[in-house]
Structure 1
Amino acid sequence: MLRLLVLMCALTVSVPAFDLVNPKPPVAAKKPKDVTVHEDKRIDDYFWLREKGQPEVVNYLEQENAYTEAVLAPAKELRAALYKEMVGRIKEDDSSAPVPFRGYAYYTRTEKDRQYPIYCRKGLAAGAAEEILLDLNKMIGTNTYISVGQYHVSDDGTRLAYAVDWTGYRQYEVFVMDLATKALIPQAIGKVASLEWGAGHDVLYYVTENDSKRSDKLHRWTLSTGKHELLYEDKDELFNLDVQKSRDNQFIFCLSESKLTTEVFALPAVSTGTELKSLLGRTENVKYFAEHRAGKFYYVTNRDGAKNYKVAAAPDTAPAQLADIIPHNPAIKVEEFDMFAGHMVVTERENGLPHLRVYDFATGRSKRLEMPDAAYEVGGDRNWEFDTTEYRFNYQSLARPPTVYAANLTTGARTLIKQTEVLGGFAPKNYKSERLWAVARDGTKVPLSIVYRADLDRTKPQPLWLYGYGSYGISLPVSFSSSRVSLLDRGVIYVIAHIRGGGELGEEWREAGRMEKKMNTFNDFVDCAQWLVDRHWTTPKQLVTSGGSAGGLLMGAVLNQRPDLFAAAIVQVPFVDVLNTMLDATLPLTTEEYIEWGNPNIKEQYFWMRAYSPYDNLKKAAYPNLLVNVSYNDSQVPYWEGTKYLAKLRTLDTGHNATLLHATMGAGHGGAAGRYDALNDVARNYAFFLQALGMSK
């Protein structure tokens, strides 16, 4: 224990602050554009930054990158040390948990000094030779980005259909491989949003996007004949399509989903017909998701007032005649299910924590699998086989690395399949994880997930990193990060605020943080930060924060509300130009998100968003140290949102802190695809935080 305390003291030596003297920040040209709507006068000086590909825009982004590097330069050695630490904790030559399917084990592996995974398989018999299916390190060629999206082996195990994103824009090009010869099979499917095999290995079902990246058409392609058929088009701008197959391989499902409503169409997997059958129709504010087993359709649905969802079933011949299997419980949110021949595994969430419930069809009884930690993340791993009594799940916590177990569905006994190794002397016992509840200004209790060094001095405030999201009903995972250990070991506490708008406490929690109630999301986060300060976990000078995408919206709104509460913020691929984006129906995601934020073409809803849109509510204030990260090929939140935001903020900022922009030019919403490139980006972020806190070397 004494040695660890000495180490932490050694790691908290002051380092040089940001260089804000020598480099001068780029100044974006002002080109006023009137964007007035609903008699609300707005002039956008930086609208021109959305002109992607124009030399002036590219040059400006490159200048911002150079400025950021210059300001961060005093911590160059710190950044290199962080990167070395993080690489030192990963097992560079490693493989994923193997997935059994049709006589083979499928897995990915990595090799030292190579950026990308290698997709492989080998026979289940002892001594079987490895077969390399995809080596992304070779496939990338002269491209700067590569990522595999869809990856499906045909029912008979003879062919592989996969899709590759070459830019980060989440447009996936389809390829089909003969697994015996590894040769590609000619087809002209092109780019897809989702993909699934029909029965056998000759028919592929796939969904394509329109110009605004809405997934709107379902197609079928027959490989042997090259025949193409358009099966369905959804013209409702609120809905996106996805194609799936029941695990028993009997049905193709076409899911049409908006933020509040779904409709599922079914087609027998062996069918050559084109008529899709709607299982339960489309009813506003009713969602259902389908599976199939033993002559019945099974549903996770909120029908009949089941706000937090239930599991029900109906015969194939009468798919709308539902009978409850797991009735609705207002205290427990049913999130999804995995269907097998003799069992069903249901993912539930109670008091903010996920649970796995195993239902035995033979007995009609169910029970939960037990979990060891107070705060954790658990969910199904890759389970490709239908006729099995083994269920694979992934378990982790803030202090425990990801572990894949196989649970016997009959007995509940579990077998360790794969535990992620964390090198560099990491031991879970050296860290403490807690679950606490902060109190928001309206009295609502908000769950917090916390992790820190077990030997940290808790008698005084400490540096603390607060993270949040709070949108779309998404529950933030309480997951492990070997990179984060570098901050924990320097005495930083890490906290996740599970604020309203997320899904941690069920549908009511989500509804309390969307549309006209969206301000609750931002207020919750501010109140969680203040709660931590008031209880001496930290102080404003020791408090840093971050969020990405819709969590970037959170950051922007929170910093406008309380810029004095934080020492620094990382604003990642942020949705901050809310009004301009939501008024442009040609942009990806815009129309389908009218029922998440509101439709700004409706005056009342426009002013909901006007009240918090970060770009439009920037003000004269002393903002904390800021690092805004954007990606040039981002399809979800365009690079120009964060770029405009920072350019405008600099003209209003009355403080003397670092205001930085980093643009990743060869990536998309998820950042760099290469694992070493991604760790370099993390090292930059962490060094920024530590510089802002005056910590570490």
Structure 2
Amino acid sequence: MLLRRQLCNHVSLLCLPRLLYSPPSFSHFTPTKSSHSLSQSPSPPVAKKVEHVLEMFGDVRVDNYYWLRDDSRSDPEILSHLNLENSYTDSVMSGTKKFEDELFGEIKGRVKEDDISAPIRRGQYYYYMKYLQGKEYVQYCRRLIPSNDTAPSLYDTMSTGSDAPPEHVILDENVKAQSQNHSFYSIGAFKVSPNNKLVAYAEDTKGDEIYTVYVIDAKTGALVDKPLVSLTPYLEWAGDEALVYITMDEILRPDKVWLHKLGNDQLIDICLYHEKDHIFSIDLEASESKKFLFVGSRSKITRSIFYLDVAKPEDLRVLTPRVVGADTSVSHRGNHFFIRRRTDKFFNSELLACPVENTSETTVLIPHRESVKIQGKQLFMEHLAVYERENGLPKITTYRLPPVGEPLKSLQGGQTVDFVDPIYSIEPSESQFASSILRFSYSSMKTPPSVYDHDMNTGISVLKKIETVLGGFNSSNYVTERKWANASDGTQIPISIVYQKNLVKLDGSDPLLLYGYGSYEICIDPGFKTSQLSLLDRGFIYAIAHIRGGGEMGRQWNENGKLLKKKNTFTDFIACAEYLIENQYCTNEKLCIEGRSAGGLLIGAVLNMRPDLFKAAVAGVPFVDVVTSLLDPTIPLTTTEWEEFGDPRKKEFYFYMKSYSPFDNVKAQNYPNILVTAGLNDSLVMYSEPAKFVAKLRDMKTDDNILLFKCEFCAGHSSKSGRFEKLQEDAFTYTFILKALNMIPASTSGQS
């Protein structure tokens, strides 16, 4: 699903970079005097004011910076202003550039640069991704499975020795990016045909998430079809000679699903479905059995399903009809579809089954439970794995199914997979439908991402891959905790915390970085991010506020933090910050905050509400111009947001939104140190939103604290594309935070 302000993962379970570092000696950390004083820097850019009057319901708003919006992103005056902002940022941070470079080297030094992912079996091959020393991007590779290895087992291991089948590189992103001279390169889909002879992949070379799909011979890499242009990354094979894909309308809403037969021109592809309701978008997935494709038509609260048999791909049929408030997802096994269904009554979902030949005849397999949310499912020939959430933590429960063809009844006696950390994150991984082996990824705030194979017959789990962290990393040096803050209405808000036990004093003197998101029912589970060790090993505490608007505590957690309850998201975050201060994790002079995308809305809102509470803030690609954006249906995907934030064309929502919209609530007051980022090619949050926010802050704030704006000209919503480029961005962000806290040693500050 393409969410307009979709979460940029603050932790990636699939990234291979691992980071080398020895903790510094703090005896030589002498803070520089006034290291962030603007008196030592040039004057910041001043955006011109051009009065633009906006009126709704008799309410007049004057937006002096509306001129900064340019849909074509080519206006010379706007580009000049963005360049001035970048130059100013470079100038302010020039005194700490030496430290930033050393920090980047420290972070990068933890990376095992030559690494591979845990191989996955598909047919007669092992497939995996591979990183090479010094290279930014990944290779897609495979090896033949030896002929005597006939069935997957818990202890499968891909041989790489001299007698092993040779490695074959199907696609090298490094070669593609370099040969075509792309500053940005990302593959959004990599799909192998059922017979393993062809590969279809979706390529984005700008960061705008508009893809071109190429079909190549898996052995030779030669193109076997004309490229398909202007697609989403939703792409699936329908047999070995046809593809199903999705395109977008003029506002980048996925709205049409197409059937493409190899060899045909894209102009004669068959449109299987056109979603004309602008609140709904289309998505696509294959069943685990690979016999069916499911097309979902979804809004923020409703999802109906169409299905097609890959043997008859032109015949798209309704499986779950559209009912407002009913959200469904489907899997297939034998002669049954398995349906996860959420409604207003069954808000945490129930699991049903129905015969393929009679989809209206349903059987409840797992009933709705008020304390347990069914988040997802993974179906096997003989088993079912259910991903659930209870008390804010994810869990996996597995069930043995009756043989195919026998009646399906209510499932009993599920086995729960055990995890060792008190707080953690788990994600499903690709598994083999015909096997009893469930693969999943696991991490915690002190446990690097780990791939496990779990035998659903025996309950045994085997570690297949753990990300290597160089430089003497020892997870036992770190402590993870879950605490609970009291919200203003008495609701308990979970907080996940990690720190280096040998460095943190917990007496209020420690620096702390608090992260938040709080939208779309997305769960920010406590996972591992290697670059954060550079903060933890400098005595930082890192915390995640699991605020309402997200989904950590079930569906109602989102319901109580959206629409006319959206302010709960912001007051929950403030309550978490106050809890951390009251319990001596930090003081407001040591408290830094961060959020991206919709989390940037959070940061902008709390900065206006409680600027006194924070020392520094980082707002990444922030959605901060809420009212103006959501009043404009010509902006990409705005219409799909109305069920999350409300439709400001309605009076009640207009005034409620206006009361928290960060841009509309900037006022003459002191603000903490602030870093705001943007991507020029971002199609989800247009660069003009953060640019306008910064311009208004510069005009109105009454302090001399740092305010920096960094716009990446060759990036989109998820920032730059290279693995080391992303680490460089982390180094810059951490340098800003350390600068704001006067924690940069004099020897590397660039000052005498």
Verify same fold: TM over 0.5: yes
Counterpart for residue 567 of structure 1: 615
Is this contact kept in 2: 1:356–1:379, CA < 8 A?
Answer: no
User: In the alignment, does 2:271 pair up with 1:230?
Assistant: yes
Is 1:396–1:480's contact at 8 Å kept on the other side of the alignment? yes
Alignment map for 1:235-254 (pairs within 5 Å): 235-254=276-295
Partner residue of 1:261? 302
Which residue does 1:61 correspond to in 2?
Answer: 82
3-state SS in 1 of match to 2:55: coil
Is the aligned partner of 1:452 residue 2:514?
Answer: no
The correspondence of residues 573-652 of structure 1 with structure 2, limited to 5 A, is 573-652=621-700
Runs of at least 5 residues in structure 1 that lack an aligned partner in the other structure: none
Q: Which residue of 2 aligns with 1:133?
A: 170
Correspondence for 1:671 among 686, 710, 719: 719
1:164 and 2:181 aligned? no
Which residue is 1:509 aligned to? 557
Summarize the Cα distance change of 1:5–1:483 in structure 2 as closer, same or farther, 3 Å threshold.
closer
Aligned partners of 2:63 and 2:587: how far apart in 1?
36
Please list, as runs of the form range in 1=range in 2, the aligned pairs for 1:336-415 lying within 5 A after superposition.
336-362=376-402, 364=411, 365-383=413-431, 385-415=432-462
Tell me which moved more, 223-232 or 238-247: 223-232
Amino acid at match of 2:663: Y
Matched residue, 1:462: 510
1:77, distance to aligned residue in structure 2 (A): 2.2
Letter in 1 for 2:252: K
Q: Is the 8 A contact 1:432 1:451 kept in 2?
A: yes
Counterpart in the other structure of 1:39: 58
* Counterpart in the other structure of 2:5: none
Report if the CA contact (8 A) 1:337-1:346 is conserved: yes
Amino acid at match of 1:201: D
Partner of 1:687: 735
Partner of 1:13: 30
Cα distance, 1:122 vs structure 2: 1.3
- The one of the two structures with greater contact order (alpha-carbon pairs below 8 A, sep at least 6) is 2
What residue number does 1:556 align with? 604
Q: Deviations 1:397-450 (Å, cap 9, x if unpaired)? A: 001100101111211111111110000111101110001101111111000000
- CA displacement, residues 170-220 of structure 1 (integer Å, 9 cap, x when unaligned): 011101111133211123522211444444310100110001010000110
Decide which of 100, 112, 116 is 2:121's aligned counterpart: 100
Residues 71-110 of structure 1 mapped to structure 2, 5 A cutoff = 71-110=92-131
Q: Shift in Å at residue 57 of structure 1?
A: 0.7
Partners of 1:92 and 1:181 in 2: how far apart? Answer: 27
Paired positions, count: 692
After superposition, where does 1:107-118 map in structure 2 within 5 Å?
107-118=128-139
* Mapping of residues 650-661 of structure 1, within 5 Å: 650-661=698-709
Match for 2:185: what amino acid?
I
Q: 1:192 aligns with which of 231, 234, 237?
A: 231
* Contact 2:171–2:221 under 8 Å retained in 1: no
Tell me the residue number matched to 2:466: 419
Tell me which stretches of 4 or more aligned residues in structure 1 moved more than 3 Å: 4-8, 10-13, 194-199, 224-227, 362-365
Contact 2:513–2:541 at 8 Å: present in 1 too? yes
Aligned to 2:372: 332
Asked if residue 48 in structure 1 is aligned to residue 67 in structure 2, the reply is: yes
Q: What is the distance in 2 between the residues matched to 1:639 and 1:98?
A: 39
Q: Choose which of 354, 360, 363 in structure 2 pairs with 1:323.
A: 363
Say what the alpha-carbon RMSD is for the aligned residues: 1.6
Given that 2:225 and 2:263 are in contact with CA atoms closer than 8 Å, whether structure 1 keeps it comes out as: no
Note if contact 2:23-2:538 (Cα within 8 Å) is conserved in structure 1.
no
Contact 1:19 1:71 in 2 (8 A): no
SS of residue matched to 1:595: helix
Q: 1:211 aligns with which of 243, 250, 253?
A: 250
Deviates more, 1:190-199 or 1:679-688: 190-199
1:19 touches 1:74 (CA, 8 Å); kept in 2?
no
For the residues of structure 1 that align with 2:581 and 2:444, how far apart are their CA atoms? 25
Report if aligned partners of 2:675, 2:709 keep a CA contact under 8 Å in 1. Answer: yes
Q: What is aligned with 1:441?
A: 488
Matched, 1:538 2:586: yes
Question: Equivalent residue of 2:269, what SS?
Answer: strand
Identity over the aligned pairs, expressed in percent? 39
Are 1:30 and 1:46, in contact at CA under 8 Å, matched by a contact in 2? yes
Deviation per CA, 1:582-616, whole angstroms, max 9, x where unpaired?
Answer: 11101112001011101111111111101100000
Q: C-alpha displacement at 1:108, in angstroms?
A: 1.1
Aligned to 1:144: 183
Q: Structure 1 residues 8 and 534, CA, compared in 2 at 3 Å: closer, same or farther?
A: farther
- Going from structure 1 to structure 2, the CA distance change for 1:11 and 1:610 (only over 3 Å counts) comes to farther
Q: CA deviation at 1:225?
A: 4.5
Q: 1:479 is matched with which residue?
A: 527
Change (3 A) 1:154 1:41: same
Query: Conserved in 2, the CA contact under 8 Å of 1:31 and 1:48?
Result: yes
1:252 is displaced (CA, Å) by 1.6
- Distance in 1 of aligned mates of 2:584 and 2:336: 56
Which of 440, 461, 476 is the equivalent residue of 1:429?
A: 476
Q: Distance in 2 between matches of 1:272 and 1:570?
A: 47
In structure 2, relative to structure 1, the CA distance for the partners of 1:611 and 1:6 (3 Å cut) is closer
In structure 2, C-alpha distance between the alignment counterparts of 1:647 and 1:167, rounded to whole Å: 26
Specify the SS of the correspondent of 1:57.
Answer: helix
After TM superposition, give the deviation of residue 488 of structure 1 in Å.
0.4
Within 2, Cα distance between the matches of 1:358 and 1:467?
A: 32
> Residues 223 and 435 (structure 1 numbering): CA distance in 2 closer, same or farther, change over 3 Å?
same
Partner of 2:719, secondary structure, is coil
Aligned-partner SS, 1:677: helix
Any conservation in 2 of the 1:18–1:74 contact (CA below 8 Å)? no
Find the aligned partners of 1:565 and 1:199 in 2 and give their Cα distance. Answer: 55
Q: Tell me the distance in 2 between the aligned counterparts of 1:218 and 1:555.
A: 37
State the shift of 1:19 in Å: 5.0
| 1:8-54, Cα deviation, whole Å (9 max, x unpaired) | 53374314512512311011111111112221111111111112211
Distance in 2 between residues matched to 1:372 and 1:547, nearest whole Å:
28
Whether the aligned pair in 2 keeps the contact of 1:195 and 1:204 (CA below 8 Å) is: no
Q: Pick which of 116-125 and 670-679 moved more.
A: 116-125
Q: What is the Cα deviation at residue 666 of structure 1?
A: 0.1
SS at match of 1:581: helix
Residue from 342, 358, 362 that aligns with 1:302: 342
Alignment of 1:169-180 (within 5 A): 169-180=208-219
- Taking a change above 3 Å as real, the CA distance of residues 407 and 6 of structure 1, as seen in their structure-2 partners, is closer
Unaligned runs of 5+ in 2: 1-20, 147-158, 404-410, 746-752
CA distance in 2 between partners of 1:460 and 1:5 (Å): 25
Measure, in 2, the Cα distance between the counterparts of 1:179 and 1:11. 56
* Deviation sequence 1:632-653 (CA, Å, 0-9, x none): 0001100110010000011111
Post-superposition offset of 1:224: 4.1
Moved more, 548-557 or 353-362: 353-362
| Partner of residue 151, structure 2 | none
Pick from 70, 84, 89: which aligns with 2:91? 70
Task: Give the Cα–Cα distance (whole angstroms) in 1 for the partners of residues 221 and 330 of structure 2.
Answer: 34
